Structure 1
């Protein structure tokens, strides 16, 4: 029991793969100043390593939740080619209609991606929360996904040096002992050019940053730097097979941290 709580309180570097797959739902800012359509990039990538980008298939779902109401955004998806540092890959441009005050929980349920090197499929169900006028409405409510990370701190207003916590859920129930990979978005995409930028930090020498959830699916991580941080609960979803092969159905959450000024 004590070991579980210790693992949840501390994030440790393990000798796993040096760079993790992460599905991005990227906007230049999580705090939206003016009403309008907010540009978003959907990219399957290694954003901390500024590494290999993976081809995305047509997302199964792309939607937002605002004040408890679900809005399908699939008609706002536009196929595009993302230019990474190592290669180009199929991705999507989109826009999110942010008009009224409150939270906008944006969700991508991507098509499973076949990772040839591991002979498995990966499906990263990803959330990001945008906000207008600092009115909190939806950030602390589960969306009802097959698997998701429920933030326990307001995800668009995290202070550098503080601790962020989340709860891993599968079909609404906690996932005890879930393994969470953590990655800083070192190279934030240029949405106009739809390409990578120069990374601001290097990868960790010890490999992927990993935290283990406790028996209630809760994990914590101390935030050391301003910017976007991604959390991926690996294999936390109920689906384990796709087209006759192993499927890792992951829950991804992006948060934004800022320095106190």
Structure 2
């Protein structure tokens, strides 16, 4: 418990400025707590959702699937290319879906193709997770997904209360990562599922650039969730792969969680 509290204090103290424009891989659907079975529509977008900024072209993902009670559900055949229109530009993205049948947690995982960031002359690959739940039955939301790098949630990721905290643990090849730099992003403008463009933004980024926390010696970090909505966390460069096509690769771990106001 002492080490976890130490990590929480460290992360709170080290929310500092970083790059103003944070890249974030989305696996998005507006409703993450489901009552009925059925096909759930999804959008895969590589974007700057806090400031509704530049959208990056996505290539065909290397892998896209769901995990439910230890079973892997391949979703690659549900991908449909589309164009997503941000405030600054439009770019290649994907529609997709997942069939939700049984109650419990569904972890959605995308391993996108590396993206070449010309301004930095590097490739970026953000291995991203988001979550659905059917029926309010918790099953395996807190289990590692066995990814090259990932953030494992210590709070149920589909119903965090605004005003409380979220704690995650950064892993690389299953081992904790100390001192990982974690960018924190609010999805201020959620995608319109029909129009393939953002809805009206509900917040603006705070002054000083991106929100950043550092993981403690055991890979833990904690962030106070100030507002309802979707929050993303990206642990930068924590994956084992560091080069792609002869250039530097930043292999990042991304997780999205959903917060609600208590009414």
**TM-score, L = length of structure 1:** 0.97
Contact 1:62 1:108 in 2 (8 A): yes
Q: The residue matched to 2:238 in structure 1 has which SS?
A: coil
Aligned mate of 2:42, from 23, 40, 43: 40
Q: CA deviation at 1:3?
A: 8.0
Q: Any idea what the Cα deviations from partners look like across 1:13-61, whole Å, max 9, x if unmatched? A: 31x2112000000001111122101000000000001000000000000
Q: 2:213 and 2:127 mapped to 1: Cα distance?
A: 19
**Aligned match of 1:18:** 20
Q: Which 4+ runs in 1 deviate beyond 3 A?
A: 1-6
Q: Any idea what the Cα deviations from partners look like across 1:41-92, whole Å, max 9, x if unmatched? A: 0000000010000000000000000011011110001111111111010000
Q: CA deviation at 1:197?
A: 1.6
Q: CA deviation at 1:8?
A: 2.6
**Aligned match of 2:136:** 134
Q: 1:100 and 1:10 mapped to 2: Cα distance?
A: 41
Q: 1:162 and 1:80 mapped to 2: Cα distance?
A: 36
Contact 1:18 1:203 in 2 (8 A): no
Q: CA deviation at 1:121?
A: 0.2
- Give me the CA root mean square deviation: 1.4
Contact 1:11 1:209 in 2 (8 A): no
Q: Which runs of 5+ in 1 are unaligned?
A: none
**Aligned match of 1:183:** 185
1:150-229 correspondence runs (5 A): 150-229=152-231
Q: 1:13 and 1:71 mapped to 2: Cα distance?
A: 38
Q: 2:203 and 2:159 mapped to 1: Cα distance?
A: 22
Contact 1:139 1:154 in 2 (8 A): yes
Q: Which runs of 5+ in 2 are unaligned?
A: none
Q: CA deviation at 1:4?
A: 6.3
- Mapped pair 1:56 → 2:58: yes
**Aligned match of 1:8:** 11
Structure 2 CA distance for partners of 1:47 and 1:27, relative to 1, 3 Å: same
Q: The residue matched to 1:12 in structure 2 has which SS?
A: coil
Contact 1:10 1:220 in 2 (8 A): no
Number of residue equivalences: 260
Q: The residue matched to 2:9 in structure 1 has which SS?
A: helix
Contact 1:40 1:93 in 2 (8 A): yes
**Aligned match of 1:237:** 239
Q: 2:240 and 2:220 mapped to 1: Cα distance?
A: 18
Q: Any idea what the Cα deviations from partners look like across 1:140-162, whole Å, max 9, x if unmatched? A: 00010000000000000101111
